[in-house]
Structure 1
C-alpha cells in the first residue's frame, strides 16, 4: 500500500496541489535562497501568457485550428496543461513556418530557430538533445529516450532465401559445389598415383567416369564402376558417407524451414540500408536528417545515399503521407511511437480484409538510432529552473509512458512473426525447381549442339582413309581383347557374331535342360540354353 500512496502523492504534487514547491522536494538546491528565488519566479509566471512552439509529430505533438486559434494536442500538451494548472499561466501556440526541428533559411522555419531567436518562450515537443541543438537552446530534464525505427512493407517471403536454397547459407553451397567439382579429379589422381606405385590388375580410373560417379552419387544414384583396390573403395565410401550425411541435414533443415522457420527481413540494422542500397525516407528538417548530414556522427556514412538519390527527406503535412512511399518499396525512418500509431491505424482501417492480410507493414528488429529527448527553452531562460522539478515528478511517476501508449493495445502491433499455424507451400518456395528444369534443359540442348558440331564439322575433316584404317585396327583389337567370361549373345547361333564357331555347335542335355555346345575362337567350349525362355536372359550385345 505504501507504494500506491507514493504514486498517488507524486501525481497529486504534479497536478492538483496548490503549493508546487514544498519541503518534500525543493529542487537541486535546498538552501533558503534557492527557495526564495523559486517562489519569486512562480510569481513572475503567475498570470503570464507564454508563447509555446511545437511541430507535427503525432501522437506526441500536433496542432489543430479551433475558432481561428491554434490549439496544441498530444502528449506534450497534456504535460503543458499540468504545468499551466500548476503555475497559473496561459499560453498561445506559435507554429513554425515549416515542420522542421532545425533548418530552413529563416529563424521562423524551425523550432530551434524560433527558440534561438527568443521569439517563443519554450517548445512543447519531444526534441532530441543533440550536441548541435545544445549550442542553440537549453533543454529541460530528460523526458524519455527516443527510439527511431525502420518501417517497411512486409515482404511476401523471408530473407532466408527461397525454399530449396534456404537450409544452407551461401558459403555451404559454394563448398558443396567445390566438393562436387574436385572430388572426381581426386579419384583419378589417386588411382593414377597408385598404378605407378603398385602394379596390379586395376588401372587408372579416367576423369569422365569419376566425374559421373560423383555426380550420380550426389543425386543418390548407383554406379556401374566396380573398384577392386582398397584405396579406390575407401574413396568411394568416403563420398557416399559425405552425401548421406549432407542429404540428411538438408532434408531435415528443409522440412524445418518450410514448417517452423522464423520470418526474417533483409533490413535489420542501419548499415543494411547502405549495403543493400535500399531506398529510405525521413522527415525533412528532422533530427534524422541532421544526424546523417553532420560529419562526425555515427550515421554519417549514410550521407552517401543522399547523393545517390537513395535517401530522401520529405516535407509532409501528415505522417500518413509517408505510407505511399513505403508501399512503393521505401523504408521509413521515424520515431517508434509514431510508427506504432501508423501501423495500428492502418490495421484498424482494414475491416473487410482477412486477418493474415491486415498487417501490411513491419518494423525492423533493431533500431535506427536512440537519443534522449526533452522540452527546450531559449538559452538562459528562467522557465527551465521552474518547470524541471515538476517535469521530474511527472517522469518518475510513469505518466509519460502511460500517455504515449494510452491509445495502443498491450500486445505488439503486427509483429515480425505472425505466428500463423498453417504453412502452405507457395510458388516462390518451388521457384528453384523450375530454375533447375530450365537450366538442365538448356544444358542438354547446348551439349547436343556441341556434339553435332564436333561430329559434322570437326570429325568430318579427317581423311576417310585414316578412318577406315582406324576402324580396322579397332576391329582387330576387339577380336583379340573380347571378354569371353560373359555368355555370348543369342544371335551368335545364327551367324551374327564371328567370334563363335556355329558350324561345330551341337545340342546336349545337361541336368534335364537342352544346351548348344560350341567352341569359341580361342578353343574354349561354351553352353547356350536352347529353350527360348532361358535363352532370353542371355540376350546381350556385348
Structure 2
C-alpha cells in the first residue's frame, strides 16, 4: 500500500474489525493486488482461526482460482488498487462466484464500487460492502450495495482511525422489505393454474389461480409490486434452440428480462443451467388425454347383459338340452310311454326353447326321468331369464362404452402419435427407464398450439401428454356433447413433477421466497388458492352462460323443457333405447319373407310335377 506505515495499520484494524464482526466462523478468502502487498495489512486477519485462502491478483485469471464454493458461510476480503480485473470479472464466468458470500472490498473510489455493483454478479449479490479512502482525511468511507429499484451504492458509516464513528450493519437484510419496488413476472393463461378475468372487449382486468395466489402473497409479505408480462405468442414455457438460446418464458428469464416466472412450472434438471427454482409448492402428475370413443350401437344392447363366455355357455346348454330331452323321451317311451312330440328331436328342441324363454308349455312329460330333467331345465332357464331381464334395462337406458386404451402398454401397442406443447415431454419420455415409455419418445410430436393437438385427439389421431389438472379442466369444460365429455384421461399416468416458481439464475430473491413459500405450505394456503380459483372460475362461467342464454332465449327455453323432463330422475324409454328389439323384429320379418318366397317357389315346383 502506498503511504505511511500508520495508514497500513489503520486499514489492518478495519479489516480485522470487519472479519471479526461480520465473518466470524466463516471461511475466509483474502485477495490483494500489488498495491496492497504490504504484509502488515493482512497480518492480523491471518491470525484468526478461520480457514483461509490467500492469493495475489494480477489479472482476471487469478480470480478464477478463488475458492468460490464452500459448505458454510464465506467471507471475502478483496483489496484492489487497480479494480479493472474485478469489474471485468463482474460480467464474466457467472458460475465463478459465491452469490451468498459476504464481500468487503477496498477500492480506489466510489465509482469503482458502483461499477461492480452494476455488473451481473453485483446485482445478484446481497452482501457487498466497500471501504473507500478519503484523499484529505485519515478516514475510510463505508458503502454498501442496494438490490432492485435503486442500484446506487449507499454510504452507511465512516472508519476513523481505529473504529467506526457510528454503529453499523454492513450486511443488513435487504429482502424482507423491498419498499414497493416493481418486479416483472412472466406468465400466461393456463387453466386451472392461471386464469384471466377479461372485460367484454378482451382486456385482462386481473389474474387469479394457484400460481397467481403465490405471487400475490409474496408481494404482500415482502412489500413489492408485480408487473405481469407474457412470452411471445405460442412460445409458452419455451424451448432450447439450436444456437443454445431459449424462447418463451425460459428465454426471458435466461436473458434477465424479468425477475420471476410462474405458470404450472415443473422442476426439472433440464433448466437448472438457465434459472433457479424456488422451493416447490405443489405437485402434479403428467397424464395422457385421449378421445372418448363413441358408445356401442344400442341395437347391440340385447347382447350386453351377458359376457361373451356366458353367451357361449348358454348356447351350448340350449344345443345340448334338445338332444338330452329327446334321448330321455325315447327311453321313457320304451319303459312306460312318453309324449310322442318329445320323441322327435326338432320338437324336443322347440320344447326346450320355450322353457328357455320362460313360456308355459301345453303338456307335461309322462316319464319320471323326463320330468326331472324338465324341472331342472325350468329352474335353470328361470334363473337365466331373471338375470337377463333385470340387467337388460340398465343397458337399454345407459350407453355402453367400447374397450379403450387405459395403460401405457396399450398406448405403446396402439402405435398412435403422442403430442405435447414444446419438446419438454419428448425429452422426459426419452429419459424414462420404462421401455414402453421410452418407445413413445420416437412417436412424440411437439406443437406450438394446444388447439392443433386437441383437434388431432378428437379425430383419434393422437393422444396429448400434459399436466393432469389442465387436461381435466379441458375435458370437463370445453368439449362436452350432451353432457358426455368427448375427451378423457387414461388411467395410467406418466410421472409426478413438483411445481415451483422460476427465478433468474443466482437470484438473491430465492432465499426469502423459499422461506415465505414454506409458510404458505404450512398454513394450507396453496389448497385455499386452488379452491378460491375454482369458485371464481365457476361464477365467471355462470355469468357467461347467463349472458349467452339471454342472447338465445328460445334455445334456453328448450333446454329448460328438457331439464324439466329429466329432473325428477325418471328417464322415459325412447325409440333409441329400444332400437335393438326393433332391429330383431325387422331381421325376423326379412327372414320370414325369405322363407315364404322359398316355400312359394317349392310349392309351384310340386304343382308342376303333379300336373
* 585, 591, 610: which one aligns with 1:437: 585
Say if 2:235 is the partner of 1:99. Answer: yes
Task: Give 1:127 deviation, angstroms.
Answer: 1.8
1:232-381 alignment, distance < 5 Å: 232-255=370-393, 269=406, 274=411, 283-285=420-422, 295-296=432-433, 300=437, 303=440, 314-316=447-449, 335=467, 337-338=469-470, 368=493, 370-377=496-503
State the SS of the aligned residue for 2:375: helix
Q: Distance in 2 between matches of 1:144 and 1:225?
A: 75
Q: Distance in 2 between matches of 1:182 and 1:433?
A: 26
Task: Give 1:53 deviation, angstroms.
Answer: 4.2
8 A contact 2:458–2:487 mirrored in 1:
no
Alignment correspondent of 2:306: 168
Pair 160,450 (structure 1): closer, same or farther in 2 beyond 3 Å = closer
Q: Distance in 2 between matches of 1:137 and 1:450?
A: 84
Q: Distance in 2 between matches of 1:276 and 1:223?
A: 53
1:167-246 alignment, distance < 5 Å: 167-188=305-326, 201=337, 205-223=343-361, 227-246=365-384
8 A contact 1:284–1:313 mirrored in 2:
yes
Q: Distance in 1 between matches of 2:416 and 2:212?
A: 34
Q: Distance in 1 between matches of 2:299 and 2:445?
A: 29
Q: Show CA shifts across 1:155-176 (max 9, x none).
A: 9979999654454344433433
* 118, 143, 147: which one aligns with 2:281: 143
Pair 342,224 (structure 1): closer, same or farther in 2 beyond 3 Å = closer
Q: Distance in 1 between matches of 2:126 and 2:231?
A: 26
Task: Give 1:110 deviation, angstroms.
Answer: 4.6
Pair 218,123 (structure 1): closer, same or farther in 2 beyond 3 Å = same
1:78-93 alignment, distance < 5 Å: 78-84=213-219, 86-87=221-222, 93=229
* 163, 181, 190: which one aligns with 1:57: 190
Q: Show CA shifts across 1:187-235 (max 9, x none).
A: 446667x589x76655994432232222222223344675433333222
Question: TM-score normalised to the size of structure 2?
Answer: 0.50
State the SS of the aligned residue for 1:376: strand
Task: Give 1:246 deviation, angstroms.
Answer: 1.6
8 A contact 1:54–1:62 mirrored in 2:
no
| Gapped regions of structure 2 (runs ≥ 5) | 1-70, 76-98, 103-124, 128-144, 152-181, 543-565
8 A contact 1:269–1:367 mirrored in 2:
yes
Task: Give 1:423 deviation, angstroms.
Answer: 0.9
CA RMSD of aligned residues (A): 5.9
Task: Give 1:126 deviation, angstroms.
Answer: 1.9
Pair 388,255 (structure 1): closer, same or farther in 2 beyond 3 Å = same
Pair 225,432 (structure 1): closer, same or farther in 2 beyond 3 Å = same
8 A contact 1:163–1:428 mirrored in 2:
no
8 A contact 2:408–2:437 mirrored in 1:
no
Q: Distance in 1 between matches of 2:303 and 2:594?
A: 26
Alignment correspondent of 2:526: 400
State the SS of the aligned residue for 1:372: strand
8 A contact 1:341–1:408 mirrored in 2:
no
Q: Show CA shifts across 1:82-129 (max 9, x none).
A: 435555667774625643446464533354566678876653232233
Task: Give 1:402 deviation, angstroms.
Answer: 2.4
Q: Show CA shifts across 1:136-173 (max 9, x none).
A: 76543221122567778999979999654454344433
Q: Distance in 2 between matches of 1:429 and 1:70?
A: 47
* 570, 575, 581: which one aligns with 1:422: 570
Q: Which moved more, 1:172-181 or 1:234-243?
A: 172-181
Q: Which moved more, 1:168-177 or 1:97-106?
A: 97-106
State the SS of the aligned residue for 1:41: coil
Q: Show CA shifts across 1:397-421 (max 9, x none).
A: 232222233243399999xxx9861
Alignment correspondent of 1:481: none
Q: Distance in 2 between matches of 1:179 and 1:55?
A: 65
Pair 262,233 (structure 1): closer, same or farther in 2 beyond 3 Å = same
Q: Distance in 1 between matches of 2:353 and 2:345?
A: 12
State the SS of the aligned residue for 2:351: helix
Task: Give 1:391 deviation, angstroms.
Answer: 1.4
Pair 116,294 (structure 1): closer, same or farther in 2 beyond 3 Å = farther
Pair 218,287 (structure 1): closer, same or farther in 2 beyond 3 Å = farther
Q: Which moved more, 1:272-281 or 1:331-340?
A: 272-281
Pair 180,344 (structure 1): closer, same or farther in 2 beyond 3 Å = closer
State the SS of the aligned residue for 1:127: strand
